[in-house]
Structure 1
C-alpha cells in the first residue's frame, strides 16, 4: 500500500488492501496523511466467514 500511494493519483485519505490465498483473507489500510499502515488481525475464511467478508468488501467499495 505504501508503494501504491506513490503510484495512485487520488484525493482518498485512506488506501485499503487485502491479502488472500483465496480461502483466507486479511485486510489492512494505509493512512496517507499520517503515513501509517494498520493491519486487521482477524483472518476471514471462505466459506465460513463469507457474509462478513462480503460486508467488508462492499464497505470498502462504498467508501471509495
Structure 2
C-alpha cells in the first residue's frame, strides 16, 4: 500500500513589503520557517497576490539564518 507524505507550505507577505514573502512549513501545531521569497515585481490586485508567488519565473529564495 503506498504512503503519501504531504507538507503544507504557508506563504505570508512581509508587512509593507509587497515583493517579500515568508515561507514556513506547517508541522502539527507549529510552524517551521523555511526562508523568504523575493518576487521580481509587485502584484496589484488580491487575485494577483494569490497567484503571483506560484507564477514563473521562479523567485529568489533566501534561507532564514539559524543564528538569531
TM-score, normalization by structure 1: 0.36
Larger gyration radius, structure 1 or structure 2: 2
> More strand by proportion, 1 or 2?
2
TM-score, normalization by structure 2: 0.35
> More helix by proportion, 1 or 2?
1
